[in-house]
Amino acid sequence: MTIADNILYFDEQLRNTNCRLVAVSKTHPAAAIKEAYEAGHRLFGENKVQELVEKYAELPHDITWHLIGHLQTNKVKFIAEFVDTIESVDSLKLLVEINKRAEMYGRTLPINCLLQISIADELTKYGMDYEEAVALLQSEEYRSMKYIRVVGVMGIATNTSDEAKLRQEFRYLRGCYENLRDTFFFANPDFCEISMGMTSDWKIAIEEGSTLIRVGSGIFGARDYSK
């Protein structure tokens, strides 16, 4: 299967669903992204700022870029001008910085942000507790922000083949999403995204309500971290 074949496969699979594909291109060269682009795909995800900046410069500017990896506050300035969505917002401090940098660039469109909620066992995974997300949305600082828009939640499930466990984690994230929506976004259609599901578990994630699956190796092949 070529990259183009894989893109067409996902187009097919996602037709008639409420879910979109974020093609996760990390570690793969711009040429691989170009192949997906030429097959019609426009939504890509990267997990490192440096890599995202380089690829942004090299590739057509009608690509929609999502940053999906942990973001340090001191690096927001490098992507604030062009990034569409930051999926990995895990603190109020980070959101404050994103808002500030988006304002400095005089963006006409706000930066979309997803609140990353920790749903997996692994303590090493970034993300907020549900309670922290609530505190963020209740804060005065958040309410005064004009250059960001919180559009949903994101979660990274445990790396396991245990389907029951994956379902439980995805369901938990969906529950968080619904509670936040009903509490803070009543009648506000902006808050509509649940980003969950990767190459090994995207089908389950869609069954559990995902609106954004983040698929890397399933499109671009295995990653080589030795280069």
Ligand X SMILES: *Cc1c(COP(=O)(O)O)cnc(C)c1O
Contacting residues toward ligand X, per CB under 6 A: 24, 26, 47, 68-69, 156, 198-199, 214-218
How far apart are alpha carbons 175 and 181 in whole angstroms?
A: 10
**Residue 162 Cβ vs ligand X, minimum distance, rounded to whole Å:** 16
By beta-carbon distance, which residue lies closest to ligand X? 216
**How do strand 148-154 and strand 64-67 relate by DSSP bridges?**
unpaired
**Residue 43 Cβ vs ligand X, minimum distance, rounded to whole Å:** 13
**Residue 120 Cβ vs ligand X, minimum distance, rounded to whole Å:** 11
**Quick one: 8 or 142, whose CB is closer to ligand X?**
8
How far apart are alpha carbons 60 and 207 in whole angstroms?
A: 33
- Backbone φ, ψ for residue 33 (5° rounding): -65, -40
**Residue 213 Cβ vs ligand X, minimum distance, rounded to whole Å:** 8
**Residue 96 Cβ vs ligand X, minimum distance, rounded to whole Å:** 22
How far apart are alpha carbons 121 and 220 in whole angstroms?
A: 27
**Quick one: 186 or 225, whose CB is closer to ligand X?**
225
**Quick one: 99 or 116, whose CB is closer to ligand X?**
116
**Quick one: 69 or 91, whose CB is closer to ligand X?**
69
Beta bridge partners, 43, equal: 64
CA 28 vs. chain centroid, Å, equals 18
How far apart are alpha carbons 112 and 68 in whole angstroms?
A: 12
Contact 195, 207 (CB under 8 A): no
**Quick one: 7 or 198, whose CB is closer to ligand X?**
198
How far apart are alpha carbons 58 and 34 in whole angstroms?
A: 10
